[in-house]
Every structure is written in C-alpha cells, then in structure tokens.
C-alpha cells in the first residue's frame, strides 16, 4: 500500500514520534510505502509531498514539532475540496491516509471517511480535550513544563509577599491547569469550565497572607471571571495611566493588586508549553499510537482512530474524538480544591 | 479518628506527596489526627512516632524520599509481631493505619486486616510490578530519568563506534526497561521475563555497525542470559587479568567486547532512578492516591487499597496488589521489538 | 564573634547556598555564632531575627529563594535609620554584618561601613549588572531557564510560520537576553543598552520567512524601540478593538503582526527566571562567595565584598559593585549579532 | 580561504556548536569555504571529508556529539603521517586547519604548526584538565549532570541508612568530582590528585550514621586508595563468593560494606556525562570559541588556540594547553573539605 500521512493543527510534542513509529513498522512489516503531506490538509489539496522512508524518520523520536509542517487549512472550506483531495490522492497513487490532528483535522478525516476515502486517525491535542481516549500525547509534556514553572515560583513565593500567577494553555478545557496546579501545589486553579469569583480569589489570597505565605494561582488562558469576557476586556490602566490588557493572567494580576494592595506578577508560558522534546510518557504514547494506526491501515479499519484506555491502545471510531469537548471532570476539580487557599 | 501512617520498603518519589494529601484532606474534612510511624513497620512495632499535622507536611509535594523514613522490618518475622502492633496502636490510641508500600508492606497490611486491624493501603513500587493498579507513583519518574540518560548516550553513539549499555532497575519485571527503552529509542531491551540470547544481541550490534551506527542497549538489572545466572556470574577478567564483575550491564559490556572487538561502555543508574523530585504525573497520582486512601479510612473500607484504572482512582482489595507479580505484557514487548537492531 | 546575616532585594537562586556556606564554615572553623535578620534591612531596623545554626542550614544548598525573607526597605530612607541599626546591633550583641544583596543592599552596606560598622558584602543580582565581579550567582540559572524556553520554541518555529518572542529579565542591562539568545540560537536579541529599530526587526523577520523559517526574538523587559518608551506605551488595540498593553514583548508581537501580517506570540517568563534550584555553577559560586565572606569577617576586612575573577574568589571594596551599572559589552553583542536574521 | 575542520578525541557537548559558529561567521564575514574531516585525524590522513556549509550546520547549536565523528587516530604514529597530511591538504586545496580537541589532538596540531602548516586550535576536554584556559566547554554540562544525580541521591540518603557512591569522570584530574560534589552537597569527594585514606572515609561515614544521616560520596574514576591501584584491583568477592570488580566506585562500596556493615550502593554515570545537549553556558562558550578561532584563521594567527580568561576569549599558543595537566587547585579542594563528614 502507498500511505500518505499528514499532521494538522497546532504543533505538539510527539507528532514526529508518531511518524517514526508508523514508518518503522509499516515498511518492514507490511511493505508499505509512505509519503508525507506538507502543512496538513493544504499539502493534500495541493499534492505537496515529501519523502518519508526509514532514513527520513531517523532521530525523530525525541524531536518536538513536526517535520511535515502544519496548517489550519480546511478542505471543506471550498466546495471542491473533496474532489481536489480525490484527484490529489489518485495522482499520487495513495491508497490510505493517516491523519494526525485534533478536533478540526479528525473532523475532516471523519467526513472524508463518509465520502468513502480510506482514512485512519491519530488524536492530538495539547489541551487533552478530545473524547474517546484517556489522554493524548503532548499533554503530559505541557503539564510537566507548567509544573516546573510553578515549582520555580514557590521559592519566590516563600521569600516575598507576593501573588504569582501562571497563565497556561487551555482555551476551552482546564486540564493542563488542573494537572499542573495539583502537581505544583497551586493555591488556586481557575479553569474555563467554571467562571471564577474574584471575591473568592481575593479571600484565598488574603487568607494566605495572614500566615505570611504568598499565593500561586494557575489560570487557563480561557478562564473568565463571573460576569464573563466583558469584564475581562473592560479597559484596565497601568501605572502610567495607559490602557493595558494582555490575557486573563495580566487582568488577574491587575485586579488582585487593586483589591489587596499587594504586588502580583504574571508568567505567560505560551508556546513554550507545546515545544521541545516530549516527556518519556508522551514518546511512549505517541509511538504506540503510531504502531496501532499502521496496524489499522493494514487491517483496513477505516474511519477509526487510535485511543488509550487504561494501559491499552484500542481503535475507536473517529467520531468519538470529536462528538463533544472533553471538559474537566468536576470530581477531579473537587480533589484539586482540597489544596486551595 | 487517630490515624497512623507508615512508609515501607525502598524509597520512591511521591511518598511524601501521599503523606501530604492524606493530612491536607483528613484534618480539615474529617477532623482526623495523624501520627507518622518511623521507618515502616519498625516504628509500629516500637511505637516510634513523629507528629504529622498540616505544618509538618508543608513543602512535601515536590520532595522525593519519605520524611517518615523506611525499613524492611517485617512484623511477622517474630511470633509476637501482631501482639506488639496491637499494643502499640492501643498505647498510641490509633484507630486506623494507612500503609504505603510495596509487596512486603501491603502483604503485612493484608494479614493485619485479616487479624481485624483497621488498615488501608497505598501501593508503591518503582518497578511497576504490583497488580490491581494500572501504574504506581514513582514509576514515571524512574522511566523519565532512565530515558534522559538514554537520550544523552545517543550523541556519543552518533560520534563514536561504540556499544552503550544502560542498566536500569527491575529485578523481577522489566517495565522500566521497556518504557525507557521505547521512549529513548534503544536498539535492544533485555528484561527479566525473557532470558536473552547473546547471539541475537551480537547480531543486532553487528548489523548496526554495518550502517556506521553505534548501539544502545537497555538492560534490567534482573535480566539474565540464556543459560541463566550461572553464566552471568562466571568469572570475567578485565584488561589487567583481574577478576571483574559488576552487574549484568558490566557482564554484557565485557561479552560484547569479547565477541565483536568493539568498545562497550556501561552506565549503571542505580539509586538515581528512585530519587529526587517526582514527575508532574507521579505527584498527581500520589496526591490522588492519598486523597482516596483517607476517604476510604473515613468510610471504613478496611483491607482496601487505592488503585489507578484508566483516569480513575478506585479502591480494590489489598490482595489484588500482591497475589501475583505483574510482569511485562508480551504484546507490549513485541511493540518495543519493532525498533530493535 | 556574633555575626548577623541579611538578604536584600529580589530573591535569587543561590542565596540559601551562601547562608549555608557561611554557617558551615563559620561555626566550626572560627567559633562564630550567627543570627539571621528577617526581610533584609527591615529585620535589622526592627531587631527581628531568627536562629541560624548548623541544623538551620541543613538542606539549603539546592533550595532557591531565601529562608531569611527579603524586602526593599532602605534604612537611609528615615533620618534615624543608622541609629536604629546601631541600637539593634548593640541590643543583639552583633559584632559584624554580612549583607547579601544587589545595588541597593550593598549601597547601604557601604554607607554603614563609612559610619564605622563592621560590614562585609556578597553581591547578588539576577541581571549580572553589578560591577567588580565577573558574574554573580543566580545569573547562570536565569540564563539556563531562558535558554530552555527558547529551545522549546524552536520546534514550534520549525512547524509553523510564526514569530515567537521571549521576554526575559533585564531592566537596565541585557546580559540575560544576550547569553540566553546566544545559547538558544535566537534570530534577534533586543537589549536596554541599545534602542531597537522596528524596521530592522521587520527586515530580519521577513528575510527568515523567505527561507520558510520562523523567527525567535529574545527581548529584555527593559528594551525600548527607537523613539523611546513613549512609542512603547502608546495605545495598542487587540482583535476586539480593546486597548492592549502588556510589556515590550506584547508590544513587539502586536507591531510585528501589524507590519508583516504573520502571527506573533509572546512568552513572558517573569519570576520563573529567578526561582527554583540554582544550577550547579551557581551553587558552586554561591558556596565559594559564602566561604570567602566569612573568612573576610574573621580577618576583619570590613567594607569589602566577595567577587569572582576568572576562577578565583577575591575580596574587593563594596564600592566597586555599585559605582556604575555593568552593561553588556558591545564586543559581546557584536558576536551575538553574527547569528541575527 | 578553504578551511578544514576536525574534531578529535572523546565526544563532548558543544563540539557541534563550535562547528556552527565557525561556519556561520566564516562564510558571510570572510568568504571562507569549509570542509569537515571525518573522524578526527583519520579523515585528514585519508582525505575523507564531508561538506560543511551554512545549511549543514543548521540546528547544531543544542546538539551534543559531533556531526564530523571522532577517533583517536594519531598521525605521528606512522613515519609518513605528516607527508600524508600535506598531500591530503594539497589535494583538497585546504589553506588552513581548525583542530578541535584535547591533549592529543592539540599536541598533534602544535607539531603540525612546527612543520609549517596553518593550524588554529580549540581546546576541548570534559575533564577540564587542559591548561591555558579557565574552562573548556562540555565541563559545565558534565558537572550539571553529575550534580543532578547527586541531588536525586539525597532523597534516598534521607530515607534510608545507606552509603551512596557516585563515580564520575576524571581519570587524571578531579575537577568534575570537586565541582559536582560542592554543588551537590557531597559528604566526601575523592580525586586522583590525592590518594584517599579508607580509614578517613570510614570515619566520615560512621560519623554521619551517628546523626542518623546517610552519606553521599563522589569519586573520580581515576581516584585511588592509599597504597595505590594494586589495592584497588586486588580481588573482591560478591555475596555469592564470585569475584567482583567494576571500577573504584564498586570497590569503594564493597570496602565500606565490609568495614561498616551498612549497605552501600554505587551509581556509575559513565558516558551519560558527556552526552546530550550542552548547558547554556557551554553553548555560549563553544560559540565564542568558534567565533574567535575563525577570526584567528582570518588573521593568520597560526599555532594559537582560543582560551577563556575571566569573561574574555583570548588567543594563546597551542603549547599552553598541553604543556602540563591542569590538576585541581589544592585551595579549592580545601574549600570543598569544609563540607566533608
């Protein structure tokens, strides 16, 4: 079989490890040939490919990012997208596609499967908000990086009377914030699933100051105060009277300083969370996803994707990943709350 | 309730995080009082305790080891062990015990439960060889450390024509070797579950040299060559004609040099694998084990221990942990073998 | 002798290592007794002390922050500051002071020395902008953390067409930016010593996009565009038309997006750079500073501070540290420029 | 000019960073062309080269090892070595050589300079035992790795009554042991410069056990007990009566167990210390060495090598590096001894 592989959406540690595993197994075990599409669906639409044989995947296991490049191109955005994909695959004599990506990429993959194309998926999201799988690769790396940042803030927190805020990824789901906050010993964790009360935040901060301890607050980039985004984006001004607004982390620092009179400082980790070498666990998971995906291609299990269940990799329908956003389990959040304040 | 806590067996990153979680929830949520027994069952036998209140667990989350100390004392080694424990608990007015430990510690806990004592367990093993739970805390940390070592060896392997060997923990089960070997891109992984063939090892090494690549071999400390331990311990001599034998890693280096004429070097990670701050994942798991253990104490679920199943923490009978050694799944090992040679 | 120790200014990895070294040598070698003043000069003014004997410094070597706490209190801010210090030292029977801190703390120390007090200094600055010493402890740690962040951004930069900005510490001097930028392979480094031209930044970014490579820009928090701070703080608006301004990193992202139409994202490391365990080098330097400082106390070398020159620790007058800001050597910056664009 | 570059001796983090800096400056600033000799002097003797232009050095900054490969081939081992080198350089039209290596490589470079060849050197040694420069790149990385290992052992040391031994690199000089031991808080540091007394080691260990603390001992691979190597290699037997001898670390563990009856465990870091990504400081130093080396080529400063003096890079005669082994300064060792026992 000739198999095309693409990586879509934001980059994520472990993408390259998936590529490597697919090729390292597919070539010798099944005699597959591989081509890599450049920049996600854009490469498929434009038949823009690069070779992907065993020498091409050498050294990829520990390497973050994706050697195939990525984009947010959606083939269904144009009326003839599916036709172009069919032509492109025919021209390149591609028998099957492995689509590695998140909600958008897998959503496209599911629709192409409905159109009769041979597609297998591998779920990818830093934010851990895809359904159908216990975890996705990249998430453990993001949590580790955020936790290490929180660890470092503890020493400042012990030496000064300050409030330290870490803004982490998570636009719609607070998984990174909850995991890193629990692992780092945060005094409060604010997530998108639940608008936060500034009165409650203020009470936590003040209660910590009474014991001479500073506070560390972890906030998802998508968290909003009660009253919603309108509150968040209402103009704040800095020390010079200039208008000021970064993200929710900056807003929170400003608001805490205003309410408590104590210094508050924000760290915005940004893309640092999605870069660099994957953790051992993410490499292990990405490798296994790749192995099972190529087994599924060989077995003709079209429309399925690799998923982690406990310690097993299983194949589940692509639709399970995308039918609804996987948000933080309230029971888990309640466990995290034990350590607030 | 007055609750006694003990940590038994070898130290493991996350033990302190369990202690912290138990105390941080048990005191405010249930009004429990806690005492820590020193050095595992020795402290219980001798009523040797230390205070364990909220201030005592401050800062423990990221700290490796155990502030309670540990030992391998087995109360059933002496005929009056159980009586002494009863007396000790009565004297200290302890209502319930939380035993954190591995096969030995939990085995004792199960027998004390049979004797009618109020015991709840938390499973602990670096080696991941306890049953009843997907993983135990400390394992992810050990795998991370071993993987980082393998990562570092790759650059030497690319620059010189050498065989590099990493001996990792795992006396009876090769979980660390398989996980770290898969995550680090090892060219061979040798585990206790399956005696290894030196002919096959030699063939892998030679095949890699033909492509101008060096080899990296991960070996569990408990792995043995075909023919068994007798082969392993038969006298080797070093360059000076002196007898020489460290562990299996040293033996393997010697044997490869003898067979291939190429230099082979061994890294023995030893206790480095079980020390230092836990990974984010291990802190999260240890914290959750602690929270669920103290909930179980409160609920009177005696004879049970905390366990991970997928993303959930559940309580299972203590006996599940210890009834048989959890060895490496052959299907997982077969996945690792894809990358050998 | 009874010796008082204080730590002033912002916290810095290695402060605790200095304390430990002073006590571990001073007690057995010279028979000194130690007390720690709480929160810098505030503790001296208010005779607020904590014990500082060998057991108190156990475990401090790898620990970031300062167990003594810190503040920015300046005793010369009030007319009777010096008198209060004299009274406080007399009351506590303190024979000598070791002041560990930056420009402000050492400036106060120098003036107290002029007043006849027995003072020895240890220089401390994350930013490396103190004179008289090749480096100060904490700087290597900050550079390492910033470099690791840049490393992680490279994988995103290779996978997407983006501009990635890292804002690092350095209000008046760009040492962290230059060192981390050189070590991390940044495509541009913007420092306070030299107002930057947005036209030049734009040209670098565009030239990199032509080769299909993204750009990574490291910017000191104190860097300003040509035209000065007024340009920087002129109102920017975000996607929703809301006024927006974080620091220079946010400004730069906005300006690059406006000029090039490409996405730009900012990481603000903030206090993460000054927290956590010191690097091996910083621990070594902090330890040696502590040992030489207590030798100087014993030898009565008042008004002097420890300094690194090559591989030697020497004692230099306190005034050398503070007489002028140590800014980035233009020759070093020129070396960094080799890799721009 | 056409410039040939080679890397000789053991690999060392930062070698690739030197290559990158030379090429990144030499091509655009001076119009040089570069070729890389494969496997050190072997490549020069055999005119075995690989291209080395700007695209070839992309991504090399953080990468350990050397893309040129290395060997221990010595051209002066054969009578016609110099002639073969002349012929090889003539054939390849090479005008100048940059030799990056340790004692052997630079010794050869110095002799070739005497023969009238155009050679510039860059000093490289993990062990930091070359003269003429404050430090060499790779050393800081090795110290960091060893320190991190010691950090991890502390938690076991606090939880169990054990002696933990770390064997680090350093055949003739104990720089890594002293730096890592000081940074990691070792209780004893044994180095090649000074045969160690087992009675003294035993006394330290026993004194620590009296306070209920375990001991951590750092030992250079080249350290020998009083009485010399003969003592070290005299046959030891393990628990099964089998002959046993790894390196000095294993010997020490055995000897301590025999004398004190307490468990002792050894970690042998081996090649892990010389692999992986260089620290920020080593990348900075390697980059600067490369820049100054190519400036020296351009300026025709033959027979010189780059060296670090304080914060400056200077050019010194090649002979300074090799005229004598740079051993640990006794004054520095005395500082480390403050913390022994």
pLDDT tens across A21-63, in order?
Answer: 999 999 999 999 999 999 999 999 999 999 999 999 999 999 9
Average pLDDT over residues C242-258: 78
| Mutation site, D159, D163, D217, D264, interface B, largest B CB count within 10 A | D159
Q: How confident is the model at residue C246 (pLDDT cuts 50, 70, 90)?
A: low
Q: Which of residues 312-331 of A touch C (CB under 8 A)?
A: none
Q: In this predicted model, what pLDDT tens digit does every residue of B272-303 receive, in sequence order?
A: 999 999 999 999 999 999 999 999 999 999 99
Tokens of A337: 């709350």
Q: Which residues of D touch B266 (CB under 8 A)?
A: 268, 270
C123, C136 contact by CB (below 8 A): yes
Q: What is the 3-state secondary structure (H, E, C) of D51-64?
A: ECCHHHHCCCCCCC
Contact criterion met (CB < 8 Å) for D183 and C284: yes
C-alpha atoms less than 13 angstroms from C-alpha of C187 in its C-beta half-sphere: 25
Contacts 24+ apart (CB under 8 A), D74-81: D74/D41, D74/D104, D74/D108, D75/D41, D75/D44, D75/D45, D75/D108, D76/D108, D76/D111, D81/D45
What pLDDT sits at residue A89?
97
**In this structure, are strands C215-220 and C163-168 parallel, antiparallel, or unpaired?**
parallel
Q: How confident is the model at residue C321 (pLDDT cuts 50, 70, 90)?
A: confident
Q: How confident is the model at residue A237 (pLDDT cuts 50, 70, 90)?
A: very low
b/e string for D27-36 if b means 16 or more Cβ within 10 A?
beeeebbbbb
CA closest to C211 among chain D residues: D55
Task: For residue D162, count CB atoms less than 10 angstroms from its CB and return exposed for 0-12, middle for 13-18, buried for 19 or more.
Answer: buried
Instruction: Check residues D210 and C199 and name the one with the higher pLDDT.
Output: C199
Contact criterion met (CB < 8 Å) for D279 and C182: no
Residue with tokens 């604010």: A190
- Inform me whether the C-beta atom of residue A136 falls under 8 Å from chain B C-beta atoms: no
Q: Distance (Å, rounded) from C-alpha A40 to C-alpha A61?
A: 20
Which other chains touch chain D, taking contact as 3+ CB pairs less than 8 Å apart? B, C
Task: For residue B174, give the nearest of B282, B64, B278, B330 by alpha carbon.
Answer: B330
Q: Distance (Å, rounded) from C-alpha B217 to C-alpha B186?
A: 6
Q: Distance (Å, rounded) from C-alpha C20 to C-alpha B181?
A: 40
**In this structure, are strands A33-37 and A49-51 parallel, antiparallel, or unpaired?**
antiparallel
Contact criterion met (CB < 8 Å) for C280 and D61: no
Of A11, A39, A127, A140, the catalytic one is: A127
Contact criterion met (CB < 8 Å) for B245 and D240: no
Terminal-to-terminal C-alpha distance of chain C: 58
Strand order across the beta sheet in which C264-268 lies: A188-190, A215-220, A163-168, A264-268, C264-268, C163-168, C215-220, C188-190
Average pLDDT over residues B74-89: 94
Distances (CA, A) of D194 to C25, C179, D190, D223, D245: 23, 37, 8, 8, 22
Of D11, D39, D127, D129, the catalytic one is: D127
What pLDDT sits at residue B210?
86
Q: Distance (Å, rounded) from C-alpha D315 to C-alpha B125?
A: 55
Q: Distance (Å, rounded) from C-alpha D170 to C-alpha D129?
A: 9
Q: Distance (Å, rounded) from C-alpha C159 to C-alpha B198?
A: 42
Q: Distance (Å, rounded) from C-alpha D102 to C-alpha D130?
A: 7
CA C239 to chain centre: 35
- Inform me whether the C-beta atom of residue D268 falls under 8 Å from chain B C-beta atoms: yes
Average pLDDT over residues B75-83: 92
Distance from the D92 Cα atom to the nearest Cα atom in chain B, whole angstroms: 24
Average pLDDT over residues C210-223: 90
Crossing angle, helix B15-30 and helix B280-299, to 10 degrees? 40
Q: Which of residues 36-75 of A touch B (CB under 8 A)?
A: 61-62
Q: Which residues of A touch C270 (CB under 8 A)?
A: 265-268
Q: Distance (Å, rounded) from C-alpha C289 to C-alpha C293?
A: 6
State the DSSP H helix or E strand holding residue D217, giving kind and residue range, or none if neither. Answer: strand D215-220
Q: In this predicted model, what pLDDT tens digit does every residue of C43-99 receive, in sequence order?
A: 999 999 999 999 999 999 999 999 999 988 999 999 999 999 999 999 999 999 999
Give me the residue from B243, B245, B270 closest to D266, CB to CB: B270
- Inform me whether the C-beta atom of residue C135 falls under 8 Å from chain D C-beta atoms: yes
**Residues forming beta bridges with residue A3, ordered by sequence position:** A34, A96
- Inform me whether the C-beta atom of residue A79 falls under 8 Å from chain B C-beta atoms: no
Q: Which of A247-251, B289-293, B303-307, B333-337 has the lowest mean pLDDT?
A: A247-251
D127 is catalytic: yes
What pLDDT sits at residue D60?
96
Q: In this predicted model, what pLDDT tens digit does every residue of C14-36 receive, in sequence order?
A: 999 999 999 999 999 999 999 99
- C162 belongs to an annotated ligand binding site: yes
What pLDDT tens digit does each residue of chain D (341 aa) get?
999 999 999 889 999 999 999 999 999 999 999 999 999 999 999 999 999 999 999 999 999 999 999 988 999 999 999 999 999 999 999 999 999 999 999 999 999 999 999 999 999 999 999 999 999 999 999 999 999 999 999 988 877 788 999 999 999 999 999 999 999 999 999 999 999 999 999 999 998 888 777 899 999 999 999 987 666 654 444 444 444 456 899 889 989 999 999 889 999 999 999 999 999 999 999 999 999 999 999 999 999 999 999 999 999 999 998 888 999 999 999 999 999 98
What pLDDT sits at residue B234?
47
- Inform me whether the C-beta atom of residue B280 falls under 8 Å from chain A C-beta atoms: yes
* Mean pLDDT, rounded, of chain A: 93
CA dihedral A30, A36, A37, A38 (to 10 degrees): 170
Q: Distance (Å, rounded) from C-alpha B137 to C-alpha B281?
A: 8
Tokens of B107: 């085995």
Q: In this predicted model, what pLDDT tens digit does every residue of B255-268 receive, in sequence order?
A: 999 999 988 999 99
SS3 category, D89 = helix
Contact criterion met (CB < 8 Å) for B266 and D266: no
- Inform me whether the C-beta atom of residue D155 falls under 8 Å from chain B C-beta atoms: yes
Give me the residue from D151, D182, D338 closest to C284, CB to CB: D182
Q: How confident is the model at residue A243 (pLDDT cuts 50, 70, 90)?
A: very low
Q: List, in order, residues 6 or more apart from C79 with CB less than 8 Å away.
A: none
Average pLDDT over residues B128-139: 96
CA A273 to chain centre: 9
Annotated binding site of D for diphosphate: 10
Does the pLDDT at position C236 exceed 60?
no
Q: List, in order, residues 6 or more apart from B10 with CB less than 8 Å away.
A: B70, B102, B126, B274, D160
What pLDDT sits at residue A242?
41
Q: Distance (Å, rounded) from C-alpha B60 to C-alpha B22?
A: 12
Strand ranges, E, within chain A: 2-7, 33-37, 49-51, 96-101, 119-123, 163-168, 188-190, 215-220, 236-237, 243-244, 264-268, 304-309, 312-317
CB atoms within 10 A of CB C24: 21
What pLDDT sits at residue C39?
94
Backbone angles phi, psi at D43, to 5 degrees: -65, -35
Contact criterion met (CB < 8 Å) for C284 and D134: no
Strand ranges, E, within chain B: 2-7, 33-37, 49-51, 96-101, 119-123, 163-168, 188-190, 215-220, 236-237, 243-244, 264-268, 304-309, 312-317
| Mutation site, A131, A149, A280, A330, interface B, largest B CB count within 10 A | A280
pTM of structure? 0.94
Average pLDDT over residues A267-294: 96
Instruction: Check residues C228 and A220 and name the one with the higher pLDDT.
Output: A220
**Complex prediction ipTM:** 0.94
**Rg, chain B, Cα only:** 22
Q: List, in order, residues 6 or more apart from D209 with CB less than 8 Å away.
A: D161, D215, D260, D262
Crossing angle, helix C280-299 and helix C139-159, to 10 degrees? 170
Distance from the B331 Cα atom to the nearest Cα atom in chain D, whole angstroms: 30
Instruction: Check residues C157 and A336 and name the one with the higher pLDDT.
Output: A336
Q: In this predicted model, what pLDDT tens digit does every residue of A187-235 receive, in sequence order?
A: 999 999 999 999 999 999 998 888 777 899 999 999 999 987 666 654 4
Give me the residue from B151, B281, B291 closest to A62, CB to CB: B151
CB atoms within 10 A of CB A80: 11
Q: Which residues of C touch D279 (CB under 8 A)?
A: 144, 279
What pLDDT sits at residue C252?
93
Q: Distance (Å, rounded) from C-alpha D252 to C-alpha C300?
A: 42
Strand ranges, E, within C126-175: 163-168
What pLDDT sits at residue D238?
42
Distance from the D48 Cα atom to the nearest Cα atom in chain B, whole angstroms: 15
């Amino acid at each position: 079989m000739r198999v095309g592989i693409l990586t879509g959406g934001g980059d994520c540690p472990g993408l390259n490890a998936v590529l490597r595993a697919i090729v390292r197994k597919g070539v010798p075990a099944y005699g597959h040939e591989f081509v890599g599409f450049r920049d996600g669906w854009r490469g498929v639409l434009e038949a823009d490919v690069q070779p992907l044989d065993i020498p091409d995947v050498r050294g990829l296991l520990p390497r973050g990012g994706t050697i195939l490049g990525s984009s947010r191109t959606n083939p269904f955005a144009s009326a003839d997208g599916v036709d172009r994909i069919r032509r492109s695959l025919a021209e390149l004599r591609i028998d099957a596609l492995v689509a590695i990506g998140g909600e958008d990429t897998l959503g496209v993959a599911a629709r192409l499967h409905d159109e009769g194309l041979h597609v297998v998926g591998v779920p990818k999201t830093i934010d851990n908000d895809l359904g159908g799988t216990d975890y996705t690769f990249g998430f453990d790396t993001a949590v580790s990086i955020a936790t290490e940042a929180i660890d470092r803030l503890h020493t400042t927190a012990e030496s000064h009377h300050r409030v330290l805020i870490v803004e982490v990824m998570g636009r719609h789901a607070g998984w990174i914030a909850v995991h890193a906050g629990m692992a780092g010993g945060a005094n409060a964790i604010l997530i998108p699933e639940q608008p936060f009360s500034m009165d409650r935040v203020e009470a936590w901060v003040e209660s910590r100051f009474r014991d001479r301890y500073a506070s560390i607050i972890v906030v998802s980039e998508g968290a909003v105060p009660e009253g919603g985004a309108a509150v968040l984006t209402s103009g704040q001004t800095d020390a010079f009277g200039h208008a000021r607004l970064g993200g929710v982390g900056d807003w929170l620092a400003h608001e805490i300083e205003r309410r408590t009179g104590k210094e508050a400082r924000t760290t915005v980790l940004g893309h640092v969370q999605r870069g660099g070498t994957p953790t051992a666990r993410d490499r292990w998971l990405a490798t296994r996803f790749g192995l099972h995906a190529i087994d599924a291609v060989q077995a003709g299990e079209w429309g399925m994707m690799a998923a982690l269940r406990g310690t097993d990799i299983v194949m589940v329908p692509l639709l399970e990943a995308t039918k609804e956003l996987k948000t933080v389990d309230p029971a888990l959040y309640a466990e995290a709350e034990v350590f607030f304040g």
